[in-house]
Amino acid sequence: MTDKMKKLLAKIPIHIIVITIAMAWMTPSVGVFINSLRSPQAIKSTGWWTVFRTPFDFTQWTLENYVTVLEAQGLARSFRNSLLISIPATILPILVAAFAAYAFAWMQFRGRQVLFSIVVGLLVVPLQMTFVPIYSVFTRLGLNGTFIAIWAAHTGYGLPFAVYLLRNFFGSLPKDLFESAYLDGASPFTAFTQLALPLSLPSLASLAIFQFLWVWNDLLVALIYLGGTPAVAPLTVRVAGLVDSLGADWHLLPAAAFISMLLPMIVFFSMQQYFVRGILAGSVKG
């Protein structure tokens, strides 16, 4: 047996484990997708796995669930609201964190390490401790129930992790690169925009994935600062309120859930090439 064959055989157990884990993670999503296309009668009477039985029954497939949740239940408007919330709440913390992380990594000023330690320490502060004081401030400013409130909240909650991740990445960039730029007359802002940001694309992309998925899937923060007002309610709030206390219309949940899952899946798979690179970047030098 050749060495190449031995290496291939040695990797078989690893591949089996990876495939098994992937299938276990995908099974719930596949079940949700299949149920979202089945008729209410089929959902209530049989499990989703029964569709693989023979003979194949085409009569149980329908798009009625999607039509109902998008039109009658108002999920189309909630989908738009989630976009209006998630996009600014992703861009703002990354923008602010990038400036702060560059300052912590490459600029010398008094108290730099102390301030960075405080920012990192905010990661351990539970969100629940901040709801009452921030809600009181937003009430006095008249911001509760507006997109500005949720943008500000998610920006503040996302900044500690964003600063920590980007600071580690910026700190791992070659020092000689910035010194050469300064010798050529570049200002700190020019070095930041022309060197640091372009070289940090993997880290910025992975951070954008984290922040977008967190904001898109958030329910608690949206309930606190937006409430259940249909005009500003995101998808998570609408889906959570889709089934009443008596359990009516629960057959619509698979379609609503898959609609809420669709965009995060597209974002993740379209940017996955940067994901691992961004997470591992700066893990050695901080």
* Residue boundaries of the structural domains of the chain: 4-12+15-62, 71-280
Q: Quote the pLDDT of residue 285.
A: 46
Tell me, what's the pLDDT at 52? 77
> Which pLDDT score is estimated for 81?
92
Q: Which residue has the higher pLDDT, 279 or 37?
A: 37
Q: For residue 279, what pLDDT is reported? A: 56
72 versus 118: which is more confidently predicted? 118
CATH of domain 71-280: 1.10.3720.10
The pLDDT assigned to 246 comes to 45
Better-predicted residue by pLDDT, 279 or 63: 63
List Cα–Cα distances, 239 to 9, 41, 47, 88, 145, in angstroms: 47, 21, 21, 22, 18
d(CA 168, CA 194): 19
Contacts with 267 (C-beta within 8 Å, 6 or more apart), sequence order: 209, 212, 213
**What integer is the mean pLDDT of 2-9?**
73
Cis? peptide before 234, omega within 30° of 0: no
pLDDT, greater one: 162 or 67:
162
Task: Please compute the mean of the pLDDT values over residues 239-263 and round it to a whole number.
Answer: 76
CA separation for the pair 198, 34 (Å, rounded):
42
Q: How many whole angstroms separate alpha carbon 147 and alpha carbon 89? A: 10
Rounded (to 5) percent helix, strand, coil in the chain: 75, 0, 20
CA gap 223, 110 in Å, rounded: 40
pLDDT at 160: 92
Mean pLDDT of the chain: 83
More confident residue, 15 or 274: 15
pLDDT at position 195 is 85
pLDDT digits (tens, 9 = 90+) for 186-241: 888 888 888 888 888 888 888 888 899 999 999 999 999 988 777 888 988 888 87
C-alpha 107/C-alpha 85 separation (Å) is: 33
pTM: 0.81
pLDDT at 244: 60
Indicate whether 282 pLDDT > 70: no
